[in-house]
Structure 1
């Protein structure tokens, strides 16, 4: 499958009559934190592979006032390290996330936007041969009972 074939299947879950493969993966509305514990914003949407019904990117909104001046950025689900009932933690710094291109589907062509995002974050794209879906991340190891 080519990159462009996969890109055409990505849709914003908010704009589709689509259920995720696993409904528990709907983490919209949760706060997002970087690797150092700094809040980055809220998950305002999920970009989903329509054919596989899997989340590929988090759409994180931050900044602005009363909805004006808010910036949206996409982060690959590969960056998730931990999910709680009200938060999602990433393995990147807030500077790294802020250094990605802002997401505005009305202005930008998506032809190579997803490829550039994967390059920026350093992950193999989901359309690459051998890609393994990372989401949700594995649970933390159980505490040791030996002393």
Structure 2
């Protein structure tokens, strides 16, 4: 990801950006973003966790409010733990169309709901 001081970034520059824990340990990378069509707000970063060379990787939507860009790291930083991610509400085929699932997910992660 570019470390420009400009406040906007193209989504194609976010995809693939590393995500680190507060301790600096690499915990995953952003695969793609989910954007609310009505508001234009980024709702989720779908992150890849685990795996090796793309094999066995688990993809999980994480509320955008759990990530903070750190120009020193050149990536995003979060206080997420593996247990917190694994304990998130289980996804289904149309999770992105299910406000109840989204509400439970935001409550699980302790972040404000983006559409309110």
| TM-score using structure 2 length | 0.71
**2:4 corresponds to:** none
**2:24 corresponds to:** 37
Q: Of the candidates 93, 96, 105, which is equivalent to residue 117 of structure 1?
A: 105
1:56 equivalent to 2:56? Answer no
1:91 equivalent to 2:79? Answer yes
| TM-score using structure 1 length | 0.59
Alpha carbon RMSD of aligned pairs, Å? 2.6
Distance 1:109 1:28, change over 3 A: closer
**1:24 corresponds to:** 9
Query: What secondary structure is seen at the aligned counterpart in 2 of 1:127?
Result: coil
CA distance in 2, matches of 1:57, 1:23: 17
Distance 1:44 1:23, change over 3 A: same
Larger Rg: 1
What whole-Å deviation, never above 9, does each CA across 1:53-101 have from its counterpart, x for those lacking one? 2211111012234544221111111112333373111133343233324
Query: What secondary structure is seen at the aligned counterpart in 1 of 2:106?
Result: helix
